[in-house]
């Protein structure tokens, strides 16, 4: 039995198809292109609002979006700002809309219960990466609006492709919620895993230390308790210590590489000496 045909037969499938069509048309109308008028952009905004309502309704049929007003608000901020990020003509406004997206995503992460990542998104992305983007924009942006900001490559095809991908993802998410997860894919809770592993590893002194760090977190069987940050840190520096070291090396390599690429074009003092000799 074909999941697509069964889904389109139901009203929620029709709603999803309508939302996908609306979001494709909205993206196409909003993206910068040659035949651009104020009226078409307004129509694009209108269609975008319709598509957003349609997707919220799809989410309601999947779960129940309406019961959590905070989640709906921050998710709406993230999605609307993300849309504005890619359709705004001016790249500076684009970067500022992206900062709003980060605020929304951070809110979503906080609602989901990932406190450390919610804060880290603001600190690392909005505080460091986005400021770097803005610096480059101020260094490199020509005055006025550049012609290449007013047109885009194949807006119709790209909008259709993005909307179809979104529809497929929504369909698979809907099937996910319709079916109970099979027992094979139900991960055993970490509490059981640690409890099972602890007696075996008890002989190793190092494993013993990390287990005592992690075990209290898993005792409750929940990743969303009050000591979320401490437990994430224990997990990060316990099980994933090697990966943390590799990430540190990666940061160092990126730093050295960036400086090397920037300074390659400028002659150093030794170069001058070699020239003179």
**Shortest Å distance, C-beta 127 to another protein:** 11
By CB under 8 A, residue 58 contacts another protein:
yes
Report how far apart the first and last C-alpha atoms of the chain are (Å, whole number).
81
The contact mask relative to another protein for 211-250 (x = CB under 8 A, - = no) is: ----------xxxx------xx--xx--xx--x---x--x
Q: Please, which of residues 124-163 interact with another protein by CB under 8 A?
A: 124-125, 128-129, 132-133, 136-137, 139-142, 144-155, 158-159, 161-163
By CB under 8 A, residue 267 contacts another protein:
no
Classify 86 as helix, strand or coil.
helix
Q: Please, which of residues 17-46 interact with another protein by CB under 8 A?
A: 27, 31-36, 38
What's the chain's Rg over C-alpha atoms?
25
Could you tell me how many residues of this chain bind another protein (CB under 8 A)?
103
Q: Please, which of residues 157-196 interact with another protein by CB under 8 A?
A: 158-159, 161-163, 165-166, 169-170, 173-174, 176-177, 187, 189-190
- Containing 276, the helix (H) or strand (E) segment is helix 269-276
Buried b (16+ CB within 10 A) or exposed e, 160-189: bebbeebbeebbeebeeeeeeeeeeeeeee
By CB under 8 A, residue 108 contacts another protein:
yes
Beta strands in the chain (DSSP E): none
By CB under 8 A, residue 12 contacts another protein:
no
By CB under 8 A, residue 119 contacts another protein:
no
**Shortest Å distance, C-beta 21 to another protein:** 14
Place of tokens 């007696």: 199
Length of the chain: 277
Classify 277 as helix, strand or coil.
coil
CA angle 214, 107, 235 (to 5 degrees): 15
Q: Which of 6, 10, 68, 241 binds another protein (CB under 8 A)?
A: 68
CA angle 21, 27, 33 (to 5 degrees): 130
Q: Which of 39, 184, 262, 267 binds another protein (CB under 8 A)?
A: 262
């Amino acid at each position: 039995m074909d999941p697509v045909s069964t889904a389109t037969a139901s009203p929620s499938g029709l709603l999803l198809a309508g939302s996908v069509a609306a979001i494709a048309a909205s993206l196409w109308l909003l993206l910068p292109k040659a035949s651009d008028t104020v009226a078409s952009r307004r129509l694009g905004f209108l269609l975008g609002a319709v598509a957003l309502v349609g997707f919220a309704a799809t989410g309601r049929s999947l779960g129940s979006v309406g019961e959590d007003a905070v989640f709906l608000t921050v998710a709406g901020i993230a999605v609307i700002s993300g849309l504005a990020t890619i359709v705004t003509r001016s790249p500076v406004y684009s970067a500022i809309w992206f900062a709003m997206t980060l605020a929304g995503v951070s809110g979503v992460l906080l609602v989901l219960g990932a406190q450390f990542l919610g804060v880290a998104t603001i600190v690392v992305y909005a505080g460091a990466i986005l400021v770097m983007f803005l610096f480059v924009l101020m260094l490199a942006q020509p005055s006025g609006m550049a012609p290449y900001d007013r047109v885009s490559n194949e807006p119709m095809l790209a909008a259709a492709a993005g909307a179809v991908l979104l529809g497929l993802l929504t369909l698979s998410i809907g099937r996910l919620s319709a079916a109970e997860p099979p027992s094979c894919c139900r991960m055993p809770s970490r509490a059981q895993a640690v409890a099972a592993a602890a007696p075996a590893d008890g002989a190793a002194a190092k494993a013993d230390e990390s287990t005592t760090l992690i075990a209290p977190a898993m005792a409750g069987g929940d990743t969303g308790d009050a000591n979320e940050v401490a437990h994430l840190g224990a997990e990060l520096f316990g099980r994933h210590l090697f990966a943390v070291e590799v990430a540190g090396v990666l940061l160092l390599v990126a730093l050295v590489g960036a400086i090397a690429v920037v300074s390659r074009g400028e002659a150093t003092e030794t170069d001058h000496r070699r020239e003179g000799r």
